[in-house]
Amino acid sequence: MGPDIVLLVLSAGVIGAAIGTFTGMVPGIHVNTLAAMMLAAYPAIEDAMSGMTEPEYVPVLVSCCIMSASAVHSFVDFVPSAFIGAPDADEALSVLPAHRLLLQGEGMVAVRAAAVGSAVGASSALALAIPVQWALLHGASSVLDGLTLGILVVTVAVIVLGSDDRVASLILALVSGALGFTVMNCDIPCKGMVDGGTLLFPLLSGLFGIPPLLERTATPRIPEQMDRCEDPVGPWPGLKGVVTGCIAGWFPGITATAGASLASAVSKERDPAGFISLTASIGTVTSVFSVVTLSVSGSGRSGTSLVVKEIIGDGLAGFCSDAFILILFSIAAASALGYAITIAAGRLMSRIVDTVPAEPLADGALVLMSALVLLLTGPWGLAILAVSAFVGMLPQRFGVARVCLASCLLIPAIMTQTGIV
């Protein structure tokens, strides 16, 4: 493995960072979609790269590109979540405190908190990847596999019991869980004008993105956004998200949103910027640790890792394989870029927000989200968006936190683990 391979891996990381920036900044376009497109185009990519390096390194380089894109996506996708209100599955819970900061003129505080959390999460996950891989290969995986159902149930219980109104929180958790189960398990058509859409987009946008937009349309103007150009949170909130991110990266059915629900309930993180940093860290750690999980279990926990498995086969198997180290190296390079890109994207969105009055901006975001849902998921997706938005407005009416709506993912996962579906 010579220096030319290292340079190619760095190049793959940069290309992946560009892809992750695109998927992170465009609501509804997930990195999983582009990864699937790369899988479909892999024979052509393989032919194009045949003269650049040895054939055995081509799948490794493509995998480096895909996983780097996934890592940078986990950095950048917070920006449209905060300023537009179109949440990615991993950022749904952070939308609400981000909107509070935005309405206080501190949108960049939210962006910088997310960037710091993701950077802390990425660096911690990369540092832990090799020792955790060793532990999982030497028996820890069999112990952890038996804990999945228990962790899911405990997460829901902690969310409900930690609410000021437990009855209302339980009812809303069950309603959102039923909605999530229907969307994910019933044969609802998902046929938009553009292929690759998922019904999770209208589900999560309706539950977490639309309600804050509707609630703020009475605001005459969003305050001018200030950027203090300083770290608003420090490393501690991001470090608290590392353990939860590791859990979400290993256990099937425990998404980054589910992990954020548990972490927020247990840690009692009340500072909005701290909570955003915690959530961002979990999302990035989950992305990085999907490589570790794939190398140990041979099964993917995300769309990107499933694509990598198809491309690289057993190339990640074993302790510290060459492919494993090279992918981690590309993720490290891409994550450094991801931090800078997130700050730059946040500044751009802040300038846009400063020049557009709040009501047209909120109306425009609603129209954009609805159009994207229709484009990617068709009329049934639009119907799911409307129903989800109605459910998403209920927590405010009942005076409980919207975190209970994370059960839209948790309860279906519990039903899968118990064999009900």
Domain extents for the chain?
A: 3-163+224-357
Rounded to the nearest angstrom, the gap between the alpha carbon of residue 251 and the centroid of all alpha carbons in its chain is: 16
Q: At residue 220, does pLDDT exceed 50?
A: no
**What is the residue type of 325?**
I
Per-residue pLDDT at 378? 85
Tokens (6 digits) for 114: 């997310």
Is pLDDT of 177 > 70? yes
For residue 253, pLDDT beyond 50:
yes
**CA–CA gap between residue 141 and residue 139 (Å, rounded):** 5
122 vs 53, residue with greater confidence: 122
Instruction: State the helix-helix crossing angle for 31-40 and 58-76, rounded to 10 degrees.
Output: 160
Token pair of 251 as six digits: 């256990």
Which residues are within 8 A (CB) of 310 and not within 5 positions of it... i.e. 6 or more apart?
Answer: 39
Enumerate the H helices of 321-357 as residue ranges. Answer: 322-355
pLDDT band at 86 (very low <50, low <70, confident <90, very high): very low
Whole-Å CA distances, 19 to 200, 279, 315: 21, 22, 23
pLDDT, average across residues 213-226:
64
Helices (H), 205-357: 210-215, 236-250, 256-267, 272-297, 303-312, 322-355
Report the alpha-carbon distance of residue 383 to residue 204 in Å, rounded: 13
Q: How confident is the model at residue 127 (pLDDT cuts 50, 70, 90)?
A: very high
**Phi, psi of 317, rounded to the nearest 5 degrees:** -65, 150
Report phi then psi at 196, rounded to 5. Answer: 100, 0
Query: What is the largest distance, in Å, between two alpha-carbon atoms of the chain?
Result: 64
Q: Mean pLDDT check: name the lowest of 67-71, 88-92, 363-367.
A: 88-92
Distances in whole angstroms, Cα of residue 274 to Cα of each of 3, 94, 114, 279? 40, 10, 9, 9
Per-residue pLDDT at 237 exceeds 90: no
Confidence of residue 138 (pLDDT cuts 50, 70, 90): confident
The burial class, CB within 10 Å (0-12 / 13-18 / 19+), for 387 is: middle
φ/ψ bin of 255: left (φ > 0), alpha (ψ from -120 to 50), beta (otherwise): beta
Tell me the two tokens of residue 360. 């047209």
Res. 233: pLDDT tops 80 = yes
Q: What percentage of the chain carries pLDDT values higher than 90?
A: 24
Q: What's the whole-number mean pLDDT along residues 190-196? A: 68
DSSP per-residue string spanning 347-371:
HHHHHHHHHS-HHHHHHHHHHHHHH
What CA–CA distance (Å, rounded) separates 296 from 290? 10
Q: Is the pLDDT of residue 325 over 80?
A: yes
Q: Do 411 and 156 touch, CB atoms closer than 8 A?
A: yes
Confidence of residue 326 (pLDDT cuts 50, 70, 90): very high
pLDDT of residue 257: 60
Q: What is the distance between the alpha carbons of residues 232 and 237, in angstroms, rounded to a whole number?
A: 11
CB-based burial of residue 303 (10 Å sphere; 0-12 exposed, 13-18 middle, 19+ buried)? buried
What end-to-end distance do the CA atoms of the chain give, in Å?
47
Q: Using CA atoms, how far apart are residues 173 and 411, in angstroms rounded to an integer?
A: 8
* Identity of the amino acid at 18: A
